[in-house]
Amino acid sequence: MRVGIIGGSGYVGGELLRLLLRHPKVEVTTITSRKYAGEFVFGVHSNLRGATSLKFVQQDLSSIVDNCDLVFTATPHGASVGLVPKLLEVGLKVIDMSADFRLKNPEGYVNWYEWEHSSPELLKEAVYGLPELHRQEIKKARLVACPGCMAVASILGLAPLVKNKLIEGDRIIVDAKIGSSGAGSKPSLASHHAERFGGVRPYKVVGHRHIAEIEQELNLLTDEPVTISFSPHAVNMVRGILSTIHVFLKKSLTIPEVWRTYRTYYREEPFIRFVRYPKGLYQFPDPKVVVGTNFCDIGFELDPHINRLVVLSAIDNIMRGAAGQGIQCLNIVLGVNETIGLESVGFHPV
Cα gap 118→167, rounded to integer Å: 37
Contact stretch for its own copies (CB under 8 A) within 98-106, 131-139, 226-234, 250-258: 226-234
Other beta carbons within 10 Å of 224: 14
Residue among 63, 67, 164, 231 that touches its own copies (CB under 8 A):
231
Residue among 39, 60, 116, 257 that touches its own copies (CB under 8 A):
39
Does position 350 interact with its own copies (CB under 8 A)? The reply is yes
Nearer to its own copies, 82 or 225 (CB): 225
Does position 250 interact with its own copies (CB under 8 A)? The reply is no
Which residues 70-129 are close enough to bind its own copies by CB under 8 A?
A: none
| Cβ-Cβ contacts under 8 Å for 341 (sequence gap 6 or more) | 19, 20, 22, 23, 24, 327, 331
Nearest residue to 145 (alpha-carbon basis) of 340, 337, 341, 322: 322
In the bound complex, what is the minimum distance in angstroms from residue 121's beta carbon to its own copies?
A: 28
In the bound complex, what is the minimum distance in angstroms from residue 85's beta carbon to its own copies?
A: 31
Which residues 286-325 are close enough to bind its own copies by CB under 8 A?
A: 286-289, 291-293, 295, 297, 299, 301-306, 308, 310, 312, 314
Q: Is 296 annotated as catalytic?
A: no
Cα gap 4→17, rounded to integer Å: 9
CB 332 within 8 A of CB 308: no
Cα gap 65→91, rounded to integer Å: 8
Nearer to its own copies, 62 or 350 (CB): 350
Nearer to its own copies, 4 or 324 (CB): 324
Cα gap 203→190, rounded to integer Å: 10
Nearer to its own copies, 115 or 347 (CB): 347
Which residues 183-212 are close enough to bind its own copies by CB under 8 A?
A: 183, 185, 187-203, 205-207, 211
Cα gap 312→301, rounded to integer Å: 9
Residues labelled as active-site residues: 149
